[in-house]
Amino acid sequence: MAASFFPFPNLAILVAFSSSLVLVAFAGNLYQDFDITWGDGRGKMDNNGKVLTLSLDKASGSGFQSKNEYLFGKIDMQVKLVPGNSAGTVTAYYLRSEGSTWDEIDFEFLGNLSGDPYIVHTNIFSQGKGNREQQFYMWFDPTADFHTYSILWNPQHIVFYVDGTPIREFKNFESIGVPYPKNRPMRIYSSLWNAENWATRGGLVKTDWSQAPFTASYRSFNADQACVWSSGSSSCSSNSNKNSNNSSSVLLSQELDSTGQERLKWVQKNYMIYNYCSDTKRFPQGLPPECTAAKTS
C-alpha cells in the first residue's frame, strides 16, 4: 500500500486497454478474477464467488488482488462499505503497477463515527509521485447498500465515477511536463485495514474494537471493456484486426460529454471537501501545472 499526502493508502477501481482496444469478456464469478492474498481467513468468497468480503479485527485486516494486469479501459466494482462506527478503518480499492517508480489510481474510503459521512479519497500516482488528492462526501449512505465505483482510464484522461456520475477527472498534460500513467500495466488491489493514527479526523478518533469484526463487501466486478496484459503484450493488440469495431475501441478517445461535465461540476461544487489544486498553503511556490491547465482547457 502506497502512502499519499494524507497518507491514504490506496483504493481504486480500474481497467485496461492497449493501442488497439478489444473486448475482453469476464464472468461474474470473482474466483476467476481475484485471489485473496492476506488476512489469514478474514477474506472470503461467498455465494459461489458472487460476493467477496474483507474483514478487519484487532489482530489483522485482509486484502485481495486481481489475477490479471491491465493497461487502459474501464472497470466497475460494486462495494458496500463498513457500516456503523467504522472510525479508524480504511477500505482501499486501487490499481497499481510494479516497481519503485510505480503508477497508481486510488479509491480510498475513510471510516467514520456512526452518523458522520464517509470520506471518499482519490489520488493518482505517476512515476512514483502522487500528491494529487481530492476528497468527497457522498450524496447517499455508502454502507446501506452496494454502489458502483468505476474508473475510466485512457491516454486522454482518468475519470472516477460513483454510480455512473463522474466525481473527478484527471487529464493528460504531458505536453506541459506532467507525468501521466500510460506505459505500465497495473493490477487491481483492495484491502481493509486499521489506520486509526490518521484516518478519522487526523487520528483524533480511534478504532472501537468492540465493534469488530469490521466487514466490507464486493460484487459485480465488470471488466467487459478491458485488455489483459500478459508476457509483455496486450490481448487487445493480438485481436485488434478481428475486433476493430467493438465498443471498447471507443474508450481510446472517449471524453466527458456535456452532461458528464455538468454532473462533474455539480459533485465538485456540492460534495468536494479537499482539492490539492486549491491548497495554496501546501504549494507556496505555486500550484502544480496541471491545476492551471485544467482551468483553461
Q: Report pLDDT digits (tens) over 52-75.
A: 999 999 999 999 999 999 988 888
* 108 labelled catalytic: yes
Q: What is the pLDDT of residue 114?
A: 83
CATH of the domain at 226: 2.60.120.200
Task: Note whether residue 6 is domain-resident.
Answer: no
Q: What is the pLDDT of residue 275?
A: 98
Percent of the chain with pLDDT over 70: 84
Task: Note whether residue 54 is domain-resident.
Answer: yes
Task: Note whether residue 171 is domain-resident.
Answer: yes
* 133 labelled catalytic: no
Is residue 268 pLDDT above 60, yes or no?
yes
Is residue 254 pLDDT above 60, yes or no?
yes
Q: Please state, in angstroms and rounded to a whole number, the distance separating the CA atoms of residues 226 and 245.
A: 15
Task: Note whether residue 266 is domain-resident.
Answer: yes
Q: Report pLDDT digits (tens) over 188-237.
A: 999 999 988 877 777 778 899 999 999 999 999 998 777 778 888 876 76
**Which of the four pLDDT bands, split at 50, 70 and 90, describes residue 262?**
very high
Question: Among residues 69, 108, 133, 290, which one is catalytic?
Answer: 108
Question: Among residues 69, 98, 104, 290, which one is catalytic?
Answer: 104
**Pairwise pLDDT comparison (51 vs 21), residue with the higher score:** 51
Task: Note whether residue 78 is domain-resident.
Answer: yes
The domain of 67 spans 30-232+251-294
- Average pLDDT in the 284-296 region? 91
Task: Note whether residue 238 is domain-resident.
Answer: no
Q: What is the pLDDT of residue 86?
A: 93
Q: What is the pLDDT of residue 237?
A: 62
Q: What is the pLDDT of residue 233?
A: 81
Task: Note whether residue 102 is domain-resident.
Answer: yes
Q: What is the pLDDT of residue 240?
A: 45
Task: Note whether residue 16 is domain-resident.
Answer: no
Structurally, how many domains does the chain consist of? 1
Q: What is the pLDDT of residue 163?
A: 97
107 in Cβ contact with 92 (< 8 Å): yes
